[in-house]
Structure 1
Amino acid sequence: MSCTILYPLLLLVIICPCMSEVQQEEKGLQTDRTEHLNVEESGAGSTSGEFQQHFLTGIQSQLAELRSTVRSLKNRLEVTEEHLRRKDYKVAFAATLGPVGNYGPFNTEITLAYKDVFVNEGRAYNPTTGIFTAPVKGVYFFTLSGHNRSSKAMGLRLFKNGQQIVTIYNHPQGDRYETGTNSISLTLEEGDHVYVRLRPNTWVYDNVNDHTSFVGHLLFPLCWSC
């Protein structure tokens, strides 16, 4: 009877500690799995954040490149528009004194007003004053010619803003008609003035044949350095 009771008690004593150890191991396995899942979720979150940051950085870089390209195209467009605007200038004039006969001599130097205008493209030449005003910075070409009876001297001077550039001078050579010419290329700023003056005590001659002339035109603008 006693053996029958003692055997189950002994078995219970042996099994209980084993069950406790098994439960502890199961708890440990659950803890390990939980930590592993947390680590995986943390890693996934970190990877996603890095991807988003890399994506945003790429977009910002492309936007910066696009802005730079737009600025470059805008600058090129402005230069092209300015170039086309400047190239649109068509400047040319040609005028003569007309049928005035002998003109001069005078006691003082005067500006010649060439009133018979053949062409005045751009309206830069003023036939009332005889003054050409450059409408745009550029290189211009000018020609002047003078005709006279050589019983008296003929003296013509081409001026730029009050500064003498070139001249024509014909000394008295007897009583005959003679012609002198001169020409020059000039770099002018916008607003510069070019005109011809008759020296004191000299004269010039013109008639319907238009011997005495003042001619000029724009060779090319310098808009890229304006």
Structure 2
Amino acid sequence: MNFTIFLLVTLFWGSISAQDEGTSETQSCFPDMCNLLKEFGALGEKLGAMEARLKDSETRLKDSESQILELKTKERTNVVFSAAIGGGDKDIGPFNTDTTLIFTRVITNIGAAYNPSTGIFVAPIAGIYYFTFSYHVAGGRHPVWITLFKNSEIVVTSKEYKTNHHWADNGGNAVFVQLQRGDHVFLRLHANTYVWGDDYLTTFSGFLVNQV
């Protein structure tokens, strides 16, 4: 653009100088010089428009590259886990206080977001997650009360009352939860309640549905 302006100024100044000399030959060429100046002016406008379109194309290309990178990141992010409470065939509880259930038998743990040492799932990325849990009780000797927590917030719960009419029962619940990165999700067994512990019946599972 600076070079075009330089040419225009040079030609314009030359045309003025030629006009001042008063020669018939130069005067006969002056209209051609004006046309040339007009053509250079139009060329400068075209170059400016092309430059603007080029910058716009570069911006769109960068936006497309960012979108492609985001899609690739989403495709690579897989979070899935399932775990059973384990510990052999025995009662888990009752305890005097609310207790976080630890599911020690890991069936799958893609993304390593579930910690079998603490029983806590930690969201690696923000998104919509699905969680489900199931439990088994035998004999009805004690009530059952299990709650799924998001950090310190109660999300869903499931209960089974003490009874002498059933030898075995199963229960559970499921929910979609929106999580931020670093949010904790876990199951808590309430005080003075219990579940049956083995490698197959009482389980905790979850997976990432979609990033947000």
Same-fold call, TM cutoff 0.5: yes
Match of 1:126 among 115, 138, 143: 115
1:1-226 to structure 2, matched below 5 A, reads 36-98=24-86, 99=88, 101-149=90-138, 150-174=140-164, 176-208=167-199, 210-222=200-212
Q: TM-score, normalised by structure 2?
A: 0.84
Name which one, 1 or 2, has greater alpha-carbon Rg: 1
Q: Quick one: which amino acid aligns to residue 216 of structure 1?
A: G
Cα RMSD after superposing both structures: 1.5
Structure 1, residues 48-99: CA drift from partner, whole Å, max 9, x if none?
Answer: 1221121122112111101101101111210220121122111100001112
Q: CA deviation at 1:38?
A: 3.2
The whole-number CA distance in structure 2 between the counterparts of 1:87 and 1:187 is 19
Structure with the larger helix share: 1
The whole-number CA distance in structure 2 between the counterparts of 1:64 and 1:131 is 54
Give the 4+ runs in structure 1 shifted more than 6 A.
none
5+ unaligned residues in a row in structure 1: which ranges? Answer: 1-33
Q: CA deviation at 1:151?
A: 1.3
5+ unaligned residues in a row in structure 2: which ranges? Answer: 1-21
The whole-number CA distance in structure 2 between the counterparts of 1:176 and 1:168 is 19
Structure 1, residues 20-40: CA drift from partner, whole Å, max 9, x if none?
Answer: xxxxxxxxxxxxxx7653322
Q: TM-score, normalised by structure 1?
A: 0.79
User: Secondary structure of 1:191's partner?
Assistant: coil
**Count of aligned residue pairs for this structure pair:** 188
